[in-house]
Amino acid sequence: MSTTTCPSCGTSIDDPSLRVCPNCGAALLQEPVPAATAAAGSSVPFDDVSQPFLQRFIDTAKMAFADPVRLFSNMPAEDITPPVVYGVITGTIGMLIGTLWHLLFGGLFSFAEGIGVEELAINTTVMVFLMLFSPIVVAVSLFIGAGIYHLMLLLVGDGSRGFGVTMRAVCYGYTPNLLAIVPICGGFVGGIWSLILVIMGGKFGHGTDWWRAILAYFLPMIVCCCLTLGLLSMLGVIGAVAD
């Protein structure tokens, strides 16, 4: 088997199909890879349509938890259908389970606090409505989230491999949503873990620097906080002048 050496950190790599170094994230291949070759050499089990659907899903989830660097290091940019399907499934499962826990524990707390039956019925109806339309909500969230993250990557000077790679990073980064099966803390832990995976997907998927991947993720929040503080300060000055 042929080996290659990372030009950045010197790591010896025995998988010639990898586009970025799994150790430091530096780019290994500068030339675009044909779609057929990219699909065949993908590091993501879910891309291998020759395998049973459930097996592909389980293997991809395992890799996201156990070896995310390798998962994100060789993602093709073409055909975002598989990652979107995977992201919708994991996101919907997490949303459904989280909603069920909310209905169960929320109902118990509501009765304990003496909340009326009518208010409880309204809350339950809203939750059931969200459950029914959860695949659509998740799909829209995936595209909006990936679009914003990719735009931020472009602003910090990367996103070089295109929107498809960023979309894959977000979709496979949804894997920890499955932790919602654990009551109370599962959703919170899964959310934090998902954040980390998406950043890793941006870093290793595009072969960019850690600071770019992290800044691109948090930049919208930073901008919103600055705008909010600026608005509050302006209102304070106006109020002081008015007094």
Q: Looking at residue 170, what is its pLDDT?
A: 95
3-state secondary structure of 89: helix
Residue 12 is inside which H or E element, if any? strand 12-13
Looking at per-residue pLDDT, the higher value among 77 and 91 belongs to 91
pLDDT classification of 116: cutoffs 50, 70, 90: low
Q: Looking at residue 101, what is its pLDDT?
A: 80
Q: Looking at residue 150, what is its pLDDT?
A: 95
For 74-100, give one letter per residue: b (16+ CB within 10 A) or e.
Answer: bbbbbebebbbebbbbbbbbbbbbbbe
Q: Say if CB 180 and CB 94 are below 8 A apart.
A: yes
The answer to whether position 41 is within a domain reads: no
Q: Say if CB 177 and CB 190 are below 8 A apart.
A: yes
CA distances from 161 to 23, 77, 164 (A): 19, 7, 8
Looking at per-residue pLDDT, the higher value among 203 and 125 belongs to 203
The answer to whether position 190 is within a domain reads: yes
The answer to whether position 30 is within a domain reads: no
pLDDT beyond 70 at 146? yes
Using CA atoms, how far apart are residues 44 and 165, in angstroms rounded to an integer? 12
The answer to whether position 121 is within a domain reads: yes
**Beta-bridge partner residues of 27:** 20
How many domains in the chain? 1
Q: Say if CB 172 and CB 60 are below 8 A apart.
A: yes
Q: Looking at residue 40, what is its pLDDT?
A: 47
Q: What is the largest CA-CA distance in the chain?
A: 78
Which positions ≥6 away from 242 have C-beta within 8 Å? none
Taking only the tens place, the pLDDT of each residue in 36-51 is 334 445 778 898 888 8
Using CA atoms, how far apart are residues 211 and 196, in angstroms rounded to an integer? 13
Nearest CA to 19 among 45, 44, 43, 49? Answer: 43
The answer to whether position 154 is within a domain reads: yes
Q: Say if CB 171 and CB 86 are below 8 A apart.
A: yes
Span 226-236, mean pLDDT? 87
The answer to whether position 124 is within a domain reads: yes
3-state secondary structure of 27: strand
Taking only the tens place, the pLDDT of each residue in 48-90 is 888 899 999 999 999 999 999 989 988 888 889 999 999 999 9
The answer to whether position 54 is within a domain reads: no
The residue segments making up the domain with residue 180 are 79-242
Q: Say if CB 106 and CB 123 are below 8 A apart.
A: yes
CA distances from 26 to 65, 190, 209, 241 (A): 22, 28, 8, 55
**Beta-bridge partner residues of 191:** none
Residue 5 is inside which H or E element, if any? strand 4-5
Using CA atoms, how far apart are residues 101 and 156, in angstroms rounded to an integer? 39
Mean pLDDT of the chain: 81
The answer to whether position 43 is within a domain reads: no
